[in-house]
Structure 1
Amino acid sequence: MSKVLQKSANRFQKKARRHKGILDPANAATRFQLSRYLPSADLAPFVEHHWTIHWDLRGQPPYISEVLPHSSVNFAFTVDRAWITGVTTGIYQYEVKDVGTIVGTMFKPGGFHPFWRQPIVMLTDKVVDVKEVFPEVDEEFRHALLGLNDDELMVAWVEELLLARKPALDQNMALINSILETVAADKDLRTVEMVTERFYVSGRTIQYLFQKYVGVGLKWVLMRYRLLEAVELAAQLQEPNWASVAADLGYSHQSHFVNDFKKLVGKSPLQYTQTIRTGEGK
């Protein structure tokens, strides 16, 4: 382990411990411990956060964690394997069993492009071996990384791996980051046309940039932002008024809202609410 790694291991700021993005957050929190760490300043333009998961289910049945779709690329390491997950347009499932640890990184939308250097749409809904991008990640690397048994040391080592590639922020990534930050902050920006008018860019250019850098179109990203609000409301409220929720999110017809919700979550709003109240399917 380098002296730089040892020196930097205590600098990572931990994010609030929430199982946000997990389909059934309350149930998931009883099965594994999820921690998120903000990246260093050098990687902040590319990385949303680093994350670790620890679990001990010895003597218990396996647990299938369901993660909501996100417009980001992740890569992850266990002792046995290392993989890259492209943007998932449907629910992503991962089984945890026995005892184990995963350390990973969620890139910002567009943030993986300097490492992949190909259109990110090629990774959408796909899983590839980390060695396709980082050939140095072999069995010895994985065992040494997970053998550290310390979250911040593991995160520091992953950062060294990424920084060695000297990623550079280009003007297209800067534009995408600005668009996504604005969309997240301004809930009135509900359509691609509204965004193109705000940023003085054509719809064709937006489509091209999002396919190349993000892996999905801006229209899908906007839909996801709206529906994640609905998912969080379902987890917080005992009996959500879905007609009212649909109207608040800008849907003119509740049926359109229900169809989009099912595409993203795999269940209707009512089915999802029932699932998280009863813990069924876990």
Structure 2
Amino acid sequence: MIESRGHINPGTPGTSLRRVPIGLDDLVRWVWTARWDLPPGRTVRQRVLQYPAFNVVAGPRAATLHGPRTGVDVRELAGRSWVVGVLLRPGATPLFTTTAPAALRGGEEPVTGAPLAELTAAVEGDGDPAAVVRAWLEPWADAVTDAGRLVNRACALAESRSDVVRADQLADLVGVAPRTLERLVRGHIGLTPLWLIECRRLQHAAAVLRTDPDTGLAGLAAELGYADQAHFTRRYRAVLGETPGATRRAARAAG
């Protein structure tokens, strides 16, 4: 099972989320399947600080390509249903759309050719949705360009290297000029290299405060490379819609 820092309120009763890799590493980070079965009249708000990449989301009737957001995405679930999602690597974006990535930031557009019937049979039967997705996307495995692979690497480094707190540091690591990295990242996901870094920091902060609400905010801010606790709190509230203290209180109440 893959762990994710993006899901702000995992483990909500009546819902489940499963993520699995499918081996097409230049194209796909993982396939995720969400299911929910809620009593009549009950709704659940799922909050996600998305990874800086596009998702293909397929349900029983349609598939859509969703651009990344720079704030928390809130979805209300009700009744009984499911979706299968594909978290794409940045290098895969041009294979799914000719729309400029910046124009799809926080938006969506239809995806044609998705295997909806096969996914429905897999989810509602005893099949494997991830295997269906792999069979669908495998013909594109060699279509990612060198520029796409460079952006894939930049995103992976921004997420994994806690010592990287500036865009120029990230550019040095991938061996290009900062302006070149900016152009390539914007051209694949419609976001800036700096957001790659900030997304990692805020996802990490939310996960720490959720799992260990007694964590000191000043120490966490310093660990993440913010100038001070006030700066950390401002950015956290601007992106997640609540203060770090509110996240801690919610975690304590749920625990």
Could you tell me the TM-score, scaled by structure 1's length? 0.81
Question: Following superposition of structure 1 onto structure 2, how do residues 125-140 of structure 1 map, counting pairs within 5 Å?
Answer: 125-130=106-111, 134=112, 136-137=113-114
Aligned length: 253
Q: Per-residue CA shift, 1:148-184, capped at 9, x if unaligned?
A: 3247533222233323456512111221222233333
1:247 CA drift (Å): 1.1
1:39 aligns with 2:22: yes
State the SS of the aligned residue for 2:236: helix
1:271 aligns with 2:246: yes
1:102 maps to amino acid: V
Q: Per-residue CA shift, 1:104-127, capped at 9, x if unaligned?
A: 211123332223245322221112
Counting aligned pairs with the same residue, the percent is: 22
Conservation of the 8 A alpha-carbon contact between 1:224 and 1:264? no
Conservation of the 8 A alpha-carbon contact between 1:191 and 1:219? yes
Conservation of the 8 A alpha-carbon contact between 1:115 and 1:167? no
* Larger Rg belongs to: 1
Which residue of the partner structure matches residue 57 of structure 2? 76
Instruction: Give 1:230's match in structure 2, choosing from 205, 224, 249.
Output: 205
Instruction: Give 1:147's match in structure 2, choosing from 121, 139, 147.
Output: 121
State the SS of the aligned residue for 1:111: helix
Could you tell me the TM-score, scaled by structure 2's length? 0.89
1:22 aligns with 2:7: yes
Q: How many angstroms apart in 1 are the aligned matches of 2:230 and 2:51? A: 23
Distance 1:128-1:103 versus aligned 2 partners, 3 A rule: same
**Which residues of structure 2 form unaligned runs of 5+?**
none
Question: Following superposition of structure 1 onto structure 2, how do residues 1-282 of structure 1 map, counting pairs within 5 Å?
Answer: 15-16=1-2, 18=3, 20-26=5-11, 28=12, 30-40=13-23, 43-59=24-40, 61-130=42-111, 134=112, 136-137=113-114, 142-148=116-122, 149-150=124-125, 152-165=127-140, 168-278=143-253
Conservation of the 8 A alpha-carbon contact between 1:24 and 1:276? no
Q: How many angstroms apart in 2 are the aligned matches of 1:218 and 1:151? A: 41
Distance 1:219-1:142 versus aligned 2 partners, 3 A rule: same
Q: How many angstroms apart in 1 are the aligned matches of 2:5 and 2:225? A: 23
Q: RMSD value over aligned CA atoms?
A: 2.2
State the SS of the aligned residue for 2:230: helix
Q: How many angstroms apart in 2 are the aligned matches of 1:185 and 1:91? A: 21
1:25 maps to amino acid: P
Q: How many angstroms apart in 2 are the aligned matches of 1:266 and 1:236? A: 19
1:128 maps to amino acid: E
